[in-house]
Structure 1
Amino acid sequence: MSGTTAIRAAALVTMTALAAACQSTEEPAAEPTAAPSATAVPSATAPPAATATPSPVTAANTAAVCAAVDKLIIAKSKEIAADSAAATRRQLTPEQINDQVKADLADLADDVRGQAARAEDPEIKALVGDAARRIEAGANSSAPVKWLGSSFVEIPQRLTRECRA
C-alpha cells in the first residue's frame, strides 16, 4: 500500500467509524442524560435492557461512562483523520503512518481502559474493558491502518448498541 493510499484509507476508515459512533439505532430519549454528549446516548430514564436492571446509582454512572467513552472515540477518530491529512502534506512513509496510528490507538486504549475502571455496573465494565482490549490489539497490530478498516469500525457500533443504562 503506498503512503498516499494508506493515508486516504486511514482517513476514510476513521471518518466511517466516527459516523457509525454518532448513529444510534435507538429512538431518541425524551430527556437528555445527566452528562450530555454530542452523540445520541439513551437517557438514564430509558427502559432497561433485557439484561440485569442496574441500580439508579449504577445507571447514572453507566450513562456517564458510556458518554465519556463515546467522546474519547470520536475525539481520537478526528485526531487520526487530521493526522492522516497532515501526513499527506508531510509525505510520511507507510511505516511512519503506521507508527502514528499505533500511538493514537495505544492512547485511546489507555483512555478507554480508564473509563472501564470507573464503571460501577459489571456488564458495562466488561463491555468497555473489552473495547479497550480490542483497541490495544489494533495498537499492537503490524498493520494498524488495515486494522482500522477491518476491526475498529465494529467497536463504536457495539458500544452504541450495548453501552447504556
Structure 2
Amino acid sequence: MFPPIVTGRRAVGAVVLTALLAGCQSPGADTGTPDATATATAPATVPPAPSPSSASPSPFTAANTVAVCQAVDRLIIATSKEIAADSAKATERELTAEQIAEELRADLAELADQVRAEAGRAEDPRIEALVADTADRIDAGSRAKRPTTWMADTYTRIPTTLMRDCRP
C-alpha cells in the first residue's frame, strides 16, 4: 500500500488534469484541441468585455488576443499533464510529502513565470491584466503551504474563467 499523501496526490493530479482538459476544450470538441479563447481567471478589477451592440472597433488585434489566450491554455494543459505524470512517478520514487509539495511548488512557479511572459505579449490591456492576474494566482499556489489543496480548490477553476473572459 502506498502512503496516503502519494495516493492523494495521484488522485488530485488525475482530477485536476481531467477538469482542466474538459474546461479547456471547445463545446462539443472530442479531439482534445484547446478552444481558441480558453485561458485563465479574471480578476474583479478587469472590466467585462463590451457587449457586441455597444462595442466600437478595438485598436487591438483579435489575432493577438487569440494567440495569447491559446498560448496560456497550452501552458496550463502541458503543466497539468506534467503534474499528473509526476504524481505517478512519485509513487515509484517513494517521495515524502514535503518532496512532493516542493516539486509541485516548482512546477507552479515555472508555470506562473511562463504565463506572466504571455501577459507581456498581449496588446489589449484588458487581456494583459487578465493573464497577469492568472499568473499571480498560479504564483500564490507555488507559495501555498499545501499546494495539492490549492490545486483542487483554485487551479481547477482557472481554465473556466479564462475560457469565459479571454477573448477579443
TM-score for both structures, normalised by structure 1:
0.81
Write the mapping of 1:93-108 to structure 2, written as runs, cut at 5 A.
Answer: 93-108=96-111
Counterpart Cα distance in 1 of 2:57 and 2:25? 24
The alignment status of 1:74 with 2:77, answered yes or no, reads yes
Aligned to 1:60: 63
Write the mapping of 1:1-165 to structure 2, written as runs, cut at 5 A.
Answer: 2-24=4-26, 38-42=33-37, 50=51, 55=58, 57-165=60-168
The alpha carbon displacement at 1:161 in A equals 0.8
Q: What is the identity percentage for the equivalent residue pairs of Structure 1 and Structure 2?
A: 53
Counterpart Cα distance in 1 of 2:56 and 2:18? 32
SS at match of 2:139: helix
* Residues 47-106 of structure 1: CA deviation (Å, up to 9, x unaligned): x85285563652111010000000000000000000011001111111111000000000
When the two chains are superposed, the root-mean-square deviation of aligned CA atoms in Å is 2.4
- Tell me: CA distance 1:102–1:53, structure 2 relative to 1, closer, same or farther (3 Å): farther
- Tell me: CA distance 1:59–1:53, structure 2 relative to 1, closer, same or farther (3 Å): farther
The alpha carbon displacement at 1:114 in A equals 0.2
Whether contact under 8 Å (2:17, 2:81) holds in the other structure is: yes
Structure 2 residue identity aligned to 1:110 = D
Counterpart Cα distance in 2 of 1:156 and 1:113? 16
The alpha carbon displacement at 1:40 in A equals 1.5
Aligned residue pairs, count: 151
Moved over 6 A (4+): none
Whether contact under 8 Å (1:24, 1:160) holds in the other structure is: no
